[in-house]
Structure 1
Amino acid sequence: MLTKEQLIEYSEDARKTYLDHISIDCVVFGFHEGQMKVLLLKPDDEEKWLLPGGFVQKLEPIEMAANRILKERTGLDKIFLQQFHIFGDPDRAKFHHDLYKDTVPDEENWFAKRFLSIGYYALVDFFGVVPQADQFSELCTWRDLDDMPELLLDHELIFKTALDTLRLQLNYQPIGYNLMPGEFTMPELQKLYETILDKKLDRRNFQRRILGFGILTRAEQPRKGGAHKAPYLYSFDLEKYQNALTEGFKGGW
């Protein structure tokens, strides 16, 4: 919790720099060791967690603001970002209103404003991320999708909406280029899809369908080593992958 002096100073600086009533919240997905991960912030002196987010500078395009915010939290540039929803419940700011109501009047508290928050989800390379906490947080780290802590504000709703959107996207667009290593096996890619969808997929049907999209290139030689028959390695054909993102494909898993 900020002191009265810190809160007033931050609020004055924020009014000079940022647009009133518009914020951005990001759900950052990574994939590591067969687990989907979500990047979260642990605020100072709080048990609950937050999604990475921030505000839009007065002369800054929305997309540029989202990229800037995520670069500050991840160290990555040119992240795959998808805008998925706007959150505008009138009580979104109730937590900050109650937290500081006895410290300063609402009109002097930047955090007590009613913000419309633009939700983005990002798909990133787990190994490329260097998590960085913001000035109000003690920790920025990955959490497993099946071990999520309790979230502050309406960030639980934002997270669940992002996950639902990602699952829906699997029905008409490819997923994986931003989450998988440069080369991978078919079982590894299937594990990614199963983890996102939270259900088992038939091995033969998955392979037939994913190859039917024409977005994968198979290596000439299988992966070396191992006691059993070595699986073939695949990589994404980036040009065909980008076309599939634009044109889409039909069907469901």
Structure 2
Amino acid sequence: MSEQKQSLMNLLETGATYYLSHISLDCVVFGFHENQLKVLLLKMKDRDKWGLPGGFVRKEESVELAANRVLKERTGLDNIFLQQFHVFSDPDRSNNKDLIESARKTGIEVTEDNWFAQRFISIGFYALVEFSQVKPTADAISDDCTWWDLQEIKSLMLDHNLILNKALETLRLHLNYQPIGYTLLPDKFTMPELQKLYETILGKKLDRRNFQRKITGYGILKRWEERRSGVAHKAPYFYSFDTEKYKQALQEGLDGGW
């Protein structure tokens, strides 16, 4: 028996002992690579369906600790920027028959009264991570874990399209009063790269001069004398975030929107 199949059997047989009933969490993990907003997805075991990373809450832990644990298992990262954004509670959101059939295809019999096949209310979190630092790792009920371009994502399992769209909507709202970029970009980046990140999240073009004036006015950036090499036009300067001022801006907020 494979290690993954054994893990699934353990989850189905003993999960009710260790996890809270009817409560789950789903995480929208955003990354940024080659000017594209990326989302981390899992391919469900023996099914041509993809979904968001998620998991359950242990009886002795908080929801926040559960989300950090789940994301460390999927990404290999600690101290992820994590934001709770919505609770998904539609009575019909859990497709129990699909979950049972998925397990049966692996040779595991699941009864309809199994805790795993019951209705779950899901707490949504979004995470912002640096793309190159992530080591995508599948879980017990998935065959693959990989990055997808946001624009290429079509039909996801259960209500995960709704969760993804709500996370993106919330992230765009947060851009109006919180800095974004520290956990999405490398340590050093150029102003055009930072602007492209904002444009990609917002889904619209921003005026270059206005963007630069506004973002530098927040006082959260440090400019280096080093320039980006190998570009066709005038080489842009590198910038990095002032971590202390960035953290302060996260706590106190920023003025104005985009």
**Which TM-score applies when normalising by structure 2?**
0.90
Q: Per-residue deviation at 1:92?
A: 1.6
Select which of 138, 141, 150 maps to 1:136.
Answer: 141
Q: 1:231 aligns with which of 229, 233, 236?
A: 236
The match for 1:14 is 15
Query: Secondary structure at 2:61's aligned position in 1?
Result: coil
Shift of 1:61: 1.5
2:150 to 145, 151, 159: 145
Structure 2 counterpart SS, 1:77: coil
Q: Tell me how large the CA RMSD over aligned residues is.
A: 2.0
Q: 1:198 to 1:6 in 2, by over 3 A?
A: closer
Q: CA deviation at 1:227?
A: 4.9
Q: CA deviation at 1:223?
A: 3.1
Residues 208, 136 of structure 1: CA spacing in aligned structure 2 closer, same or farther, 3 A cutoff?
same
Distance in 2, Cα, partners of 1:170 & 1:33: 21
1:64 corresponding residue in structure 2: 65
1:202-238 residue CA offsets vs partner (Å, 9 max, x unmatched)? 0000001001111000013433454532211100000
Give, in whole Å, the separation in 2 of the partners of 1:226 and 1:211. 23
Structure 2 residue aligned with 1:51:
52
Give the aligned length. 247
* Aligned-pair identity (%): 65
Query: Secondary structure at the residue paired with 1:106?
Result: coil
**Contact 1:97–1:111 under 8 Å retained in 2:** no
1:170 aligns to 2:175 (yes or no): yes
Aligned to 1:210: 215
Which residue of 2 is the match for residue 31 of structure 1?
A: 32
User: Aligned pair 1:249/2:254, yes or no?
Assistant: yes
Q: Which runs of 5+ in 2 are unaligned?
A: 1-5
Shift of 1:50: 0.7
Indicate conservation of the 8 Å contact 2:38/2:148, yes or no: yes
Contact 2:99 2:117 in 1 (8 A): no
State the alpha-carbon separation in 1 of the partners of residues 152 and 10 from structure 2: 37
Unaligned runs of 5+ in 1: none
If the length of structure 1 is used for normalisation, what is the TM-score? 0.92
User: Pick from 216, 224, 229: which aligns with 1:219?
Assistant: 224
SS of the residue 2:50 aligns to: coil
